[in-house]
Structure 1
């Protein structure tokens, strides 16, 4: 006798407790026309190795419940029950099965075994890749499509789960993928598409009991309101983020929600409310701990708060404060967040322009193109540079620096 690590690992992957496994087997026993008599204690004897081979109908019910043979679950049949095959047959069969599994891994998953935590973890890794791509290049149609594909894969696994914990994780992951698609649409300035994705993401987050992704959705909806010049929408979504359970539990997320509310207030000219929210954002960020968080939150910290503060001060016509905040943001935003660095650079150029520093502002704005390299500018970033272009030709229409900037814009092929 000995421990049964195969069964133990399989139950852990599926998120099954001993009681949950007993219920599943008893349900299958009832479907077979037998009373469900399996107890938690019996499951314990399987895990400890005290019982190495389940009896008759229980064995059949177990196989039906977990879609695995008893041998795959670590049970050892009595010698009399083992098939008597020619000596070479097991070797040939193992080789055939190994070759088939190597050639068709996705087909095996699709026909499938019950989905467990390992399957969710593997699908989650792909989301990390998409998040990193968004940080580097910004949103675009291909990223949106890939994110929606990931959401579809997560939802396609839901019906093959056994435990409620795995099912909730799949809904949560689908919500995160869908929110990523929506965020890509914000960067791509397709705001109606973004709102549709966020509506779906919010429903999926509810099914997954995922308060953090719900806060992400409210944060993004506030961005949609801001980008579409609907201050009341931006403020309502920011307040929903502030009032969310995730914000109450995590100071970092609370800080982000307060910063988003500050931007919403600043667009309406409510200086006192905007600065008060910025103060709350700084205070909350000071209480942040090192707990594990989703990868989409990696962008946010003191440097990003300075970048958002620059936006607030710009709307409040505090150009010196906006310039100072932009410099502090650029001193701290990590290089992998290239799109965010480019956005902060554009904000810095606008703050310098607002102070009449035309040559310095133009040089700063040119740095946006250098940061993004050969990749096309996301439309949201092009909008910022469009604001800069219109401001420059309004404030200094006949200046040499305005002519040089216009020539550079035309050379870049950007329509301002």
Structure 2
């Protein structure tokens, strides 16, 4: 299903590259636009289905294709910089797909390549994105100090000073990393600062396609992750509900994450029946996917420990087996 839908989406985006001619030509803005259209298609598929292996490999192949395009043709310094930036964005998408799919051993090698390409592009926006993804990768690798440092580097990029929306995202991610490290004060402070920055941001300002996911719902989602780690169950539940109320329908992976987090927040309060209902609301297509599946596995373990003889537990375990 992913393959068919993905290929249809890419075709619909009109993003297929034409084969280079035997005669060298001069690359221009049309080539950059064509590659950016393919990048937008990759981002859209990630938002909908999450980091499938096919999406990971496709993004990596597009990064290589973008670099090879430059090696075969002439281009101005500006066009080369823009194309290196697109190649870096594709590589960051491949890294993120691997992280989201919990293929962490495959994710880390993309980091150096993405940083190299972003450096060649001298692109501060892509550097922000790469370090942001690196922080999440380090978090899942169980390296909280590295995650915090990566988030700090992202926050130090100049764009966070000129555009509060980037600052808000960096701070919201930093809140989750501080929570992983058990630093309650820093985590809660980062959540507050992220919200304040978000409220100052110009929401109508033009930004890269890969930044389109970040809105109030995503901020609430990241706050939910942090609050769960801090065992602030009621606050986590409140943020999860607020996220779901504002979540755009096309962000199916994010909906799965938030429903799983809502279930964990309710379970933390001993509310077994609504917790199981929230867990069951995760779409079957998402229930076994990467980070969503990891959260639901954690929910299963905790539910079994808290209420091993409950009828709700038995029903959930059967539901989980049927979805395998």
8 A contact 2:221–2:239 mirrored in 1? yes
8 A contact 1:307–1:325 mirrored in 2? yes
Cα shift at 1:143: 0.4
8 A contact 1:116–1:161 mirrored in 2? no
Cα shift at 1:110: 5.6
Residue 79 of structure 1: aligned partner? none
Question: What SS does structure 1 have at the residue aligned with 2:212?
Answer: helix
Question: Distance between the aligned counterparts of 1:211 and 1:274, measured in 2?
Answer: 26
From 207, 215, 219, give the equivalent of 2:128. Answer: 215
Question: Distance between the aligned counterparts of 1:377 and 1:409, measured in 2?
Answer: 9
Structure 1 length as normaliser, TM-score?
0.71
Residue 191 of structure 1: aligned partner? 104
**Range with greater deviation from structure 2 (176-185 or 281-290):** 281-290
Residues 6-405 of structure 1: matches in 2 within 5 Å? 106-107=18-19, 109=21, 111-159=23-71, 160-289=73-202, 290-368=204-282, 371=283, 373-374=284-285, 377-405=288-316
Compare CA radii of gyration and give the structure with the larger one: 1
The gaps in structure 2 that reach 5 residues or longer are 1-16
Distance change >3 Å, CA 261–CA 198, structure 1 → 2: same
8 A contact 2:287–2:296 mirrored in 1? no
Residue 14 of structure 2: aligned partner? none
How well do the aligned residues superpose, as a CA RMSD in angstroms?
Answer: 1.4
Cα shift at 1:108: 5.2
Question: Distance between the aligned counterparts of 2:74 and 2:59, measured in 1?
Answer: 22
The gaps in structure 1 that reach 5 residues or longer are 1-104
Which segments of structure 1 move beyond 6 Å, counting only runs of 4 or more?
A: none
Question: What SS does structure 2 have at the residue aligned with 1:256?
Answer: helix
Question: Distance between the aligned counterparts of 2:268 and 2:54, measured in 1?
Answer: 36
8 A contact 2:253–2:286 mirrored in 1? no
Size of the aligned set, in residue pairs, is 306
Question: Distance between the aligned counterparts of 1:374 and 1:231, measured in 2?
Answer: 30
Question: Distance between the aligned counterparts of 1:347 and 1:375, measured in 2?
Answer: 14
Cα shift at 1:375: 6.1
Cα shift at 1:377: 3.0
Question: Distance between the aligned counterparts of 2:196 and 2:125, measured in 1?
Answer: 20
Question: Distance between the aligned counterparts of 1:208 and 1:329, measured in 2?
Answer: 35
Cα shift at 1:249: 2.1
Residue 319 of structure 2: aligned partner? 408
